[in-house]
Amino acid sequence: MTEPLVLGIETSCDETGVGIVRGHTLLADAVASSVEEHARFGGVVPEVASRAHLEAMVPTIERACKDAGIKLKDVDAIAVTAGPGLVGALLVGVAAAKSLAYALDKPIYGVNHLASHVAVDTLEHGPLPEPAIAMLVSGGHSSILHVPDLAKEVISLGATMDDAAGEAFDKVARVLGLAFPGGPEIDRIAKSGNPTVIDFPRGLTSKADIEKHEFDFSFSGIKTAVARFVESENKKGNQINIADVAASFQEAVTDVLSAKAIAACKKQGVEYLILGGGVAANSRLRYLVETRAEKAGVKVRIPRPGLCTDNGAMVAALGSIMVSSGVLPSPMQFGADSSMPINLIHY
């Protein structure tokens, strides 16, 4: 069978992404980001994001086709993020994908955003090892998944109970007076700080917590702890070393993430760990995961930073896996699902 040529559309948050892949080969990854429009608000504004997707959709599709050297009629299938995400933003992508599928008479796959973050690894490292453990860490999600077969079965082992890790990074960056998005800013400034100066809390890591929430996460406590620390130091008139605070915060978050990911691999008896999502671009998280994995005998696959953030290539990659696995296309009646569960890989 010839490797499928798939166009993927991603609009779950503030990036309009259009990717084109042939099998596991990336041909185009066009992204139009509206992050600058949200920066003055210190976070993503759903209505602003939706309008930005509307304006960027056609030019981004055209750019992707030009970069890939193809015409729209050449694609074998269309894939689009159906959820989870911001419902208004998702609707723009789903409507665009359905229009293309109908006009071109091509099959369409409404796929899960989280599963797409796992699939994107195939564009850099080839077919996925099965089974695998995947840890996805982004602005909206912090999840540990057991992946026996990405086309057919994904099992949630744990997830965030409140703030996602990326959300905590953004909120702490705001407290420290850093720019939005906060993840890259904290990663940058933490490199000159001391991560051991402040012992910020590690959520859900006590013995009692592990018994009930072994692979779950909680980052609201550390966000509050940072805010209280800064407020206390300001009241005392002390000068705050922002680099030390950033480094200590980052260390606490990445310590928990990396430890639980490796623990999941060991408990499930799975040899491979895949790291994905925007926070997977964090240099300290990548280092801790790779270091702890080596000691535990776990093999790690992490896409390059540019593929960790939201993009259309990851959606196209999952669509390609669906086509190659013989999964039936989605019915045209499927809609955008802001709370699409991970065990629903596609509609």
Q: Which two tokens stand for residue 35?
A: 């992050």
Model confidence pTM above 0.75: yes
| pLDDT at site 234 | 95
Q: Are 219 and 200 in contact (CB under 8 A)?
A: no
81 beta partners: 111
Q: Considering Cα of 288, then 289, then 291, then 293, what sign does the dihedral take?
A: positive
- Nearest 5°: phi and psi at 99? -60, -45
275 beta partners: 135
Distance CA 311, CA 127 (A): 19
| pLDDT at site 1 | 55
Q: Does domain 132-303 have CATH number 1.10.286.10?
A: no
Q: Which of 322, 338, 313, 276 is nearest to 76 (CA)?
A: 322
Shared fold status for 5-120+311-324 and 132-303: yes
Q: Considering Cα of 60, then 65, then 67, then 68, what sign does the dihedral take?
A: positive
The correct CATH number of 5-120+311-324 out of 3.30.420.40, 3.40.50.720, 3.30.2320.80, 2.30.110.10 is: 3.30.420.40
Distance CA 202, CA 219 (A): 8
Q: Which of 89, 117, 99, 78 is nearest to 11 (CA)?
A: 89
What is the CB neighbour count within 10 angstroms for residue 230? 17
| pLDDT at site 44 | 83
> Please, which residues have CB within 8 angstroms of residue 34's CB and are 6 or more apart in sequence?
14, 15, 16, 48, 49, 52, 53, 56
Query: Domain boundaries in the chain?
Result: 5-120+311-324, 132-303
Which pLDDT tens digits describe the chain residue by residue (347 residues)?
589 999 999 999 989 999 999 999 999 999 998 877 877 777 788 899 899 999 999 999 999 999 999 999 999 999 999 999 999 999 999 999 999 999 999 999 999 999 999 999 999 999 999 999 999 999 888 999 999 999 999 999 999 999 999 999 999 999 999 999 999 999 999 999 999 999 999 999 999 999 999 999 999 999 999 999 999 999 999 999 999 999 999 999 999 999 999 999 999 999 999 999 999 999 999 999 999 999 999 999 999 999 999 999 999 999 999 999 999 999 999 999 999 999 999 99
Q: Are 164 and 219 in contact (CB under 8 A)?
A: yes
